[in-house]
Structure 1
Amino acid sequence: MIFDVVVVGGGPAGATAAEDLARSGKKVALIDREGRIKPCGGAIPPRLMKDFDISDQQLVAKIDTARMISPSGRFVDIPIEDGFVGMVDRKDFDPFLRARAERAGATRFTGTFLRIEREEEKTFLVFRDKESREEIRLQTKYVIGADGARSDVARAEVPGGDKIPYVIAYHEIIDAPMAVGNYQPNRCDVIYDGRISPDFYGWVFPHGHTCSVGMGTGVDGFDLKQATADLRRMAGLEQAETLRKEGAPIPLRPMDRWDNGRDVVVVGDAAGTVAPSSGEGIYYAMYGGRIGAMAVSAALASGRASDLKLARQMFMKDHKMTFRALQSMQDAYYHSDERRERFVSLCHDVDVQKLTFESYMNKKLTKKRPLAHIKIGIKNVAHLTGLVSPQYT
């Protein structure tokens, strides 16, 4: 069989791309290693559930409060009004998405990407089958690389694919079904503390009967496991049973180019589409998978490989300003505890809270209440310049 598209990677980006292409009548192969669970807090907004037809059945928890914790231990509780943050466990969510793509018509393979070979005008994707350990060769017109940060497809095929900056994320899934210590099963805690992460943040995210406790950093030699142990102790969760431990890189910015100009385009973490500051990736991965599928569909219809560029163009059109704003915030506040203290204090502002979660829910920078934006800008400058002291209630 000659496939229209081979998708490498069955996480949220790859599974979404495979499903969309299969539903549109394309011949799709989906290759995934399986057995690997990405370390992830698991937060998804209602916008994702609506856009990608995700029901409440896939949620392990609904969060109605976010707590921001400063280096001094002070905190700000932010109520999530007119909505919620849904929580999924990637152990179950990713297989659900792969199975849905298969039901839509995608042909699934389990194995590891090896390389892309070309003979005259033909393209072949070669992978090692997990069960037989044999190399299998699939002829295809296009390839979508959705194989995560440090993507093998991107490094082999896309200029700049070997130079994406990243942080290493590590988390532990623990047994924590009810309130204990400082932990609440309906509240996400985000910890801005250089002892937990010198350049990013730590988290305690409820997953129903379990909880994800972890952190990320780009600092070489920083002890991720000790930081996570310290975080568990701060939350009063040091005695909880550890169910599994996971670690992986998380990219820090979108790649400048997502395609090779011929037959390959990358999406999701492979393209670097994780939001700065927050590290949010599931929504942007699924959105990237969808527009990657649209770009490949356009190329199949037109015969122009240049249409693969549409994936990055569409993504940046919709999310460039959000990513720029989040990057500016990370650059301004994440590199010293004095700045982190001021950032958490700034989060006390009601306008900051409302605009932050409106943007999170809608996945765009809200244009409502222009006076609120001006106020936030003035307060931001005041905090950064030290004109005001951190304030809490």
Structure 2
Amino acid sequence: MYDVVVVGGGPSGATAAEDLARSGHSVALLDREGRIKPCGGAIPPRLMQDFDIGEEQLVAKVNTARMISPTGRHVDIPIENGFVGMVDRKDFDPFLRARAEAAGAVRYTGTFVRIDRDKKAKKRWVVYRDKETGEERKLETRLIIGADGANSRVARDEIPGGDKVPLVFAYHEIIAAPEKNDRYDPMRCDVIYDGAISPDFYGWVFPHGGTTSVGMGTYIQSVNLKEATAALRQASGLADCETLRREGAPIPLKPLRFWDNARDVVLAGDAAGVVAPSSGEGIYYAMVCGRVAATACAATLKSGRITDLALARRLFMKEHKTVFRVLGQMQDAYYKSDSRRERFVSLCHDVDVQKLTFEAYMNKKLVKARPLAHLKIGFKNARHLLGLVRETHV
């Protein structure tokens, strides 16, 4: 019998499994494998530091972010005092799973089916369909971490409201990267705020060394993701680059109200809804969520108090609730129309905005050391929203 079965082997599930195994618990990691999540692949230095990710895992280092408006205006924001690392999920996720296994987690490959319980005997089993044989098998366990992504079957079956998460539908194409030119820079991430590409989110061109991720996301199901990405490639001068693979998946942009069932299950990662609004950043928050889920399980196993499962959400929100709220407000304010997107890109020209934005991104905290700058940004933000600022053309 396992102390914990982790369902899902992405960054969140693999991190939870590794943490629990290193703390001496018996852990099973169930993953279906063969699926690559569409992802720009950006990871900040804070992630590399907190989760011991070496530079050998990076496929590129980015030193500039370019924000592009609907009319083609752009502003280049330098990343001072460091870089943003880029990973390719087809390699990064297997690395994390292998590290969890090396720490002592036992790997199983298959698809989650359900959780069976014997109330009298106080036993439970994770039932899964083995990938190789197609047969149903069982893993007996004391606790379960559901880290099986957006549209999580664990969340749907076990958590109140687990089937009602608002989702962005994301799609990207991995293409062979061109040589550096006046439109493409292998050390720059381009973020495109254009209703013709995405009516309510954004498109991206993110370098991955010898390849590039080109994609977009939207809440609107009627949008043709492939056509929008083709338009983005054409606009970015990347239409003739070889397409190596195509990937699509839903991405949640709002944390669930409940992460545990007050019995034996706690969620982590996309299953819990921890993708940052506005930016869509998920890898760092997924790994943090996996860590706090592991902490909650360890506390529950030690104390015997099932209420300790609620520690996962409490610990995460204590650290990141404010950032999520501010990013959500920014998305609500600026992603509604192209005129708003124009004002947002104009706001990004401001040096105070640039510095505080990247300080927050790199360190994962809203910086409190410069209150005057925060006041200035609030004032500038209001003027841009009200259309009182003349647009800056670049």
Alignment TM class, shorter chain as reference:
over 0.9
Q: Which amino acid aligns with 2:45?
A: P
Aligned counterpart, 1:172: 173
Q: Distance in 2 between matches of 1:149 and 1:67?
A: 29
Which segment is superposed worse, 290-299 or 230-239? 230-239
Q: Hey, which bits of structure 1, 4+ residues long, moved more than 4 A?
A: none
Percent sequence identity is 72
State whether residues 30 and 110 of structure 2, in contact with CA within 8 Å, keep that contact through their aligned partners in structure 1: yes
Deviation string 1:12-58 (CA, Å, 9 cap, x unpaired) is: 00000000000011000000010000000000000000000000000
Is 1:266 the counterpart of 2:270 in the alignment?
A: no
Q: How far 1:179 moved relative to its partner?
A: 1.2
3-state SS of 1:169 partner: strand
Cα–Cα, structure 1 residues 66 and 78, in superposed 2: closer, same or farther, change >3 Å?
same
Aligned counterpart, 2:130: 129
Q: Distance in 1 between matches of 2:213 and 2:129?
A: 32
Q: Distance in 2 between matches of 1:137 and 1:192?
A: 47
Q: Distance in 2 between matches of 1:346 and 1:388?
A: 9
Q: Distance in 1 between matches of 2:311 and 2:178?
A: 44
Q: Which amino acid aligns with 1:292?
A: A
Aligned counterpart, 1:16: 15
3-state SS of 2:70 partner: coil
Q: Which amino acid aligns with 1:61?
A: A
Aligned counterpart, 2:185: 184
Is 1:96 the counterpart of 2:92 in the alignment?
A: no
Q: Distance in 2 between matches of 1:131 and 1:158?
A: 30
Q: Which amino acid aligns with 2:163?
A: D
Q: Distance in 2 between matches of 1:352 and 1:48?
A: 22
Deviation string 1:74-103 (CA, Å, 9 cap, x unpaired) is: 000000000111000000000000000000
TM-score, L = length of structure 1: 0.99
Q: How far 1:223 moved relative to its partner?
A: 1.1
State whether residues 172 and 216 of structure 2, in contact with CA within 8 Å, keep that contact through their aligned partners in structure 1: yes
Report 1:58-77 matches (<5 A): 58-77=57-76
Q: Distance in 2 between matches of 1:330 and 1:150?
A: 22
Aligned counterpart, 2:227: 226
Which segment is superposed worse, 361-370 or 259-268? 361-370
Aligned counterpart, 1:29: 28
Q: Distance in 2 between matches of 1:31 and 1:86?
A: 28
Q: How far 1:369 moved relative to its partner?
A: 1.4
* Matched length: 392
Deviation string 1:272-313 (CA, Å, 9 cap, x unpaired) is: 000000000000000000000000000000011110000000
State whether residues 178 and 241 of structure 2, in contact with CA within 8 Å, keep that contact through their aligned partners in structure 1: no
3-state SS of 1:259 partner: coil
Aligned counterpart, 2:113: 114
Aligned counterpart, 1:377: 378
RMSD: 0.7
Q: Distance in 1 between matches of 2:307 and 2:39?
A: 34
Q: Distance in 1 between matches of 2:272 and 2:294?
A: 14
Gaps of 5+ in 1: none
Report 1:148-297 matches (<5 A): 148-180=149-181, 182-297=183-298
Q: How far 1:180 moved relative to its partner?
A: 3.9
Q: Which amino acid aligns with 1:97?
A: L
Q: Distance in 1 between matches of 2:179 and 2:296?
A: 45
Aligned counterpart, 1:38: 37
Q: Which amino acid aligns with 2:64?
A: T
Aligned counterpart, 1:78: 77
State whether residues 178 and 184 of structure 2, in contact with CA within 8 Å, keep that contact through their aligned partners in structure 1: no
Deviation string 1:322-373 (CA, Å, 9 cap, x unpaired) is: 0000000000000100000000000000000000000001101011211111
Q: Distance in 2 between matches of 1:314 and 1:83?
A: 28
Aligned counterpart, 1:321: 322
Q: Which amino acid aligns with 2:60?
A: A
Which segment is superposed worse, 169-178 or 48-57? 169-178
